Amino acid sequence: MIVAGADGCRTGWVVCRRDTDGTLDIRVVKALADACEGLSILAVDMPIGLADSPRPGRVCESEARKLLPGKTSSVFPTPCRPALACTTYVRANATSKIMGAGLTQQTFHLFPKLREIDELLRTQRKLRRIIYEAHPELAFARMNKGKPVLSKKRQPDGYAERLKLLARHGFKTKVDRLPDAARDDILDAIAVCRTATLIAAGAATCLGAKEKDRHSLPMNIWF
C-alpha cells in the first residue's frame, strides 16, 4: 500500500509519501486534494469533524491530552463549527464565546486549512475512506514506548531526538529543508506518515471512537 502523512505549512501542505518498498518522497503541495491520488491512507495533522459548541468539545482531544502529560498544549482546542464560518478573529472569538468559550489567535490562523479539509471531506465522500486525522506528538509518543517526547522539536536536541525515533521505526530521511516549509513541519509530516502505515495495517489506535459531527464526519484522532 502507498500511504502518506501531511502537515500544514506556509504555502500549503508538507506531504511525506511512503511507497510500497519503504521509499519516502517528501514535498510541498498547494492543496491537500493534490496529495490524495494513488493513496490508500493519508494521515493529516489537522482536525477533522467539528463540534457545534466549544464545550465540552471533541472527546478525542480530551483523550489525547491525557496521553500527553507535559505536552498537552500541543493538542489545540478545535473551533466549533459556527466560529469557523467567521472571517475575522474578533467575530470568530465573539461567536465562540457566546457558544461557551473563546478561541486563540493561533487557532484562528488554522481556519483556512480547517475549511479546506472540511470542504474536501464534505464534498468528496469517497475521501473519507482515505483521509484520517492524526497527531504528530501522539505518533512520537507511540514510537517512544508510550512516553511523550518533552523536548521541543524546534530546538536542536528535540529535532535530533525525533529524527532518531523516526529512523528507528523505518522512516530515516535526510530531508530537512523544503521551500516554504519549516523543519518541524517536515518532521510532523513524516511522523503522521508512520501513523498512516499503522492505520493501513489495522494496528493504529483510535481516540474518540464513533463520535461524529453534524455532517457525519468522524471526530477521531489516530496514532
What would the grid cell of residue 219 be?
471526530
Contact assessment for residue 67 and residue 138, using Cβ atoms and an 8 Å cutoff: yes
The reported pLDDT for the residue numbered 159 is: 95
The reported pLDDT for the residue numbered 96 is: 96
pLDDT string in tens for the chain (223-residue length) = 999 999 999 999 999 999 999 999 999 999 999 999 999 999 999 999 999 999 988 999 999 999 999 999 999 889 999 999 999 999 999 999 999 999 999 999 999 999 999 999 999 999 999 999 999 999 999 999 999 999 999 999 999 999 999 999 999 998 888 988 999 999 999 999 999 999 999 999 999 988 999 999 999 999 9
CA 129/CA 192 separation, integer angstroms: 17
The reported pLDDT for the residue numbered 174 is: 86
- Beta-carbon neighbour count of residue 171 at 10 Å? 20
The reported pLDDT for the residue numbered 176 is: 86
The reported pLDDT for the residue numbered 24 is: 97
The reported pLDDT for the residue numbered 124 is: 96
Question: Is residue 158 classed exposed, middle or buried when 0-12, 13-18 and 19+ CB atoms within 10 A define those classes?
Answer: middle
CA angle (172 as vertex; 168, 175 as ends), nearest 5: 150
The reported pLDDT for the residue numbered 180 is: 87
CA 182/CA 81 separation, integer angstroms: 29
The reported pLDDT for the residue numbered 9 is: 95
**CB within 8 Å of 17: residues ≥ 6 apart:** 2, 3, 4, 24, 25, 26, 27, 35, 39, 193
Residue 4 forms beta bridges with which residues?
17, 42
The reported pLDDT for the residue numbered 78 is: 94
The reported pLDDT for the residue numbered 56 is: 87
